[in-house]
């Protein structure tokens, strides 16, 4: 393992995030704070409790997950797309660095930024809503697993995209709607039976449900099903990344 190469890529990506703190950290926190104010304080006070939890506290896991998904994809996709766009990716590919080390550098940095962002949002939520985390180890595990998984997905998106508009179309047109429809702001048990079954086709449901269980011990889907679906998506992303490096898809041409 070439630790120096991994560290060089990792530090470079972290430094890029530090140069754009307003965009990569402050902006998501501000946007999420507005959700807490509007949905938590204004609307939540009229809704009351949901699944035995106050509505303002109920939406915290969903809002954190929304930020983690979008930022993981954005950070990882932009991180690999820019070297492709500038042509510097060939210097990395021609260096004595394995594909695993390249992946650890780029995906590791993106996942780190998402994990830090998720923890900052949880800290910010304390300013608006009192809440408790019943299973902190599970919470941290889901946070890390989701960040890594969707950073891998973002890496795939960054390799696939051949223009800046394609970097935005998946997070804006697919991930954000799936998150809103995945039980972030409500329990899917409130839906009619037929829609509950249809909603289970949404992979984000399992992420939000498992993450919410780690907070309050309540979930729309069984915990182990949520964990299994998340791990399954992780392995699918790993398989696709392995194929990309094996074939050189949009990296070597």
Question: Do 110 and 73 form a contact (C-beta atoms < 8 A)?
Answer: no
Asked whether the predicted pLDDT for residue 11 surpasses 80, the reply is yes
What's the number of domains the chain is made of? 1
Average pLDDT over residues 208-231: 93
What pLDDT was estimated at residue 29? 85
Q: How far apart are CA 63 and CA 173, in angstroms?
A: 18
pTM reported for the whole predicted model: 0.91
pLDDT band at 42 (very low <50, low <70, confident <90, very high): low
Residue 253 lies in a domain: no
- How many C-beta neighbours within 10 Å does residue 252 have? 10
Q: Name the phi and psi angles at 236, rounded to 5.
A: -65, -45
Q: Using the predicted structure, report yes or no on whether residue 61 has a pLDDT greater than 80.
A: yes
* Token pair belonging to 164: 């800046």
Q: Given this model, what pLDDT does residue 91 score?
A: 82
pLDDT above 90 coverage of the chain, percent: 41
Q: What residues are paired with 53 via a beta bridge?
A: 50
39 within domain boundaries: yes
- Residue 44: per-residue pLDDT: 66
Q: Is position 129 within any domain? A: yes
For 62-98, the pLDDT digits (tens) are 989 988 998 899 889 999 998 888 888 888 888 888 8
Listed in sequence order, the residues at least 6 apart from 113 whose beta carbon sits closer than 8 Å to its beta carbon are 14, 17, 24, 71, 75
More confident residue, 197 or 23: 197
pLDDT of residue 40: 67
Give residue 212's pLDDT band: very low, low, confident or very high (50, 70, 90).
very high
Q: Quick check: is 252 in a domain?
A: no
- What are the tokens at 67? 């930020």
Q: Could you tell me if 146 and 72 are in contact, meaning their C-beta atoms sit under 8 angstroms apart?
A: yes
Residue 67 lies in a domain: yes
Which strand (E) or helix (H) includes residue 213?
helix 203-216
Other C-beta atoms within 10 Å of 1: how many?
9
The residue range of the domain holding 233 is 3-247
Res. 117 pLDDT band, cuts 50 70 90: very high
The mean pLDDT of the chain is 88
* pLDDT tens column, 131-187: 889 999 999 999 999 999 999 999 999 999 888 888 888 888 888 888 888 888 888
Residue 164 inside a domain? The answer is yes
Looking at residue 253, its pLDDT comes to 62
Q: What pLDDT does 85 receive?
A: 86
């Amino acid at each position: 393992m070439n630790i120096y190469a991994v560290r060089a890529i990792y530090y470079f990506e972290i430094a890029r995030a530090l140069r754009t703190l307003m965009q990569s950290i402050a902006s998501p926190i501000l946007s999420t704070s507005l959700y807490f104010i509007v949905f938590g304080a204004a609307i939540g006070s009229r809704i009351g409790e949901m699944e035995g939890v106050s509505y303002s506290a109920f939406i915290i896991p969903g809002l954190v997950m929304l930020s983690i998904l979008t930022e993981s994809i954005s950070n990882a996709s932009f991180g690999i797309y820019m070297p492709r766009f500038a042509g510097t990716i060939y210097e990395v590919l021609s260096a004595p660095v394995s594909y695993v080390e390249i992946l650890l550098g780029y995906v590791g940095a993106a996942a780190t930024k998402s994990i830090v962002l998720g923890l900052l949002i949880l800290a910010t939520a304390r300013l608006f809503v009192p809440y408790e985390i019943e299973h902190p180890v599970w919470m941290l595990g889901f946070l890390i697993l989701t960040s890594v998984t969707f950073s891998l997905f973002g890496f795939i998106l960054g390799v696939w995209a051949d223009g800046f508009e394609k970097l935005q179309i998946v997070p804006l047109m697919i991930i954000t709607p799936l998150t809103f429809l995945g039980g972030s702001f409500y329990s899917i048990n409130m839906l009619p039976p037929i829609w509950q079954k249809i909603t289970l086709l949404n992979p984000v449901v399992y992420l939000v449900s498992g993450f919410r269980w780690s907070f309050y011990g309540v979930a729309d889907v069984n915990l182990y099903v949520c964990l299994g679906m998340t791990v399954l998506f992780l392995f699918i992303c790993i398989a696709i990344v392995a194929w990309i490096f094996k074939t050189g898809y949009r990296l070597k041409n």
